[in-house]
């Protein structure tokens, strides 16, 4: 009688190990794409932020204005009002119309910004391009840092790489419409 040889499974070998290796490889490969696109978007947001933060704000002066008349449409938070306001620039009283959301009453004092070159050109918006630019720079840097940290973790930790790869494979399989 001939004795049968039995196959010995290597410790840590087999299908589970191969699947673990494969998902880790998928995670590591996809992290390169994430790094690439994260850097592209981070640079775009940061560049747009630098551009916006260096723009000269047309509305370079601010003052308080008194609401003379109010015409509103809509209700609650969706209310938009056309305001006729009176304000003073260098001792000269001026009147202008602006549109602002919210609830207003005649006689109410609001803050406005105006152009020193053309004081009749006013706005009630307080958010300037500079603040928006700083926010975009912050967001761009955050995206860059997040992309780099994610890439580093996936490339240097097999468990994280496998988890990332498993998520990518599951997303492809179950969300492939």
pLDDT tens, position by position, 65-98: 999 998 888 777 778 888 899 998 888 888 888 8
Residue 85 C-alpha from the chain's centroid: 34
**pTM for this one?**
0.63
Spatial distance between the Cα atoms of 155 and 147, rounded to a whole number of angstroms: 12
Q: Which of 69, 20, 5, 41 is nearest to 147 (CA)?
A: 41
Q: Which of 143, 145, 150 is nearest to 31 (CA)?
A: 150
pLDDT at residue 160, as a whole number: 92
Q: Are 84 and 106 in contact (CB under 8 A)?
A: no
**122-123 β-sheet, strand order:** 92-101, 80-89, 61-73, 109-114, 122-123
Q: In the chain, which stretches have pLDDT less than 70? A: 1-16, 126, 176-177
């Amino acid at each position: 009688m001939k004795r049968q040889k039995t196959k010995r499974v290597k410790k840590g070998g087999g299908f589970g190990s191969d699947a673990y290796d494969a998902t880790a490889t998928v995670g590591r490969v996809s992290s390169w794409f994430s790094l690439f696109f994260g850097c592209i978007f981070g640079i775009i947001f940061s560049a747009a932020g630098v551009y916006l933060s260096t723009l000269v704000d047309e509305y370079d002066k601010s003052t308080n204005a008194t609401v003379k008349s109010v015409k509103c449409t809509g209700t609650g938070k969706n209310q938009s009002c056309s305001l006729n306001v009176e304000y003073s620039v260098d001792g000269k009283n001026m009147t202008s119309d602006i549109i602002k959301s919210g609830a207003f009453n005649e006689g109410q004092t609001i803050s406005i910004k105006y152009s020193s070159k053309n004081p009749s050109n006013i706005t009630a918006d307080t958010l300037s391009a500079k603040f928006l630019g700083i926010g975009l720079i912050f967001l761009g840097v955050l995206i860059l840092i997040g992309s780099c940290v994610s890439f580093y973790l996936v490339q240097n930790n097999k468990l994280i790489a496998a988890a990332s790869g498993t998520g990518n494979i599951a997303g492809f399989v179950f969300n492939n419409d």
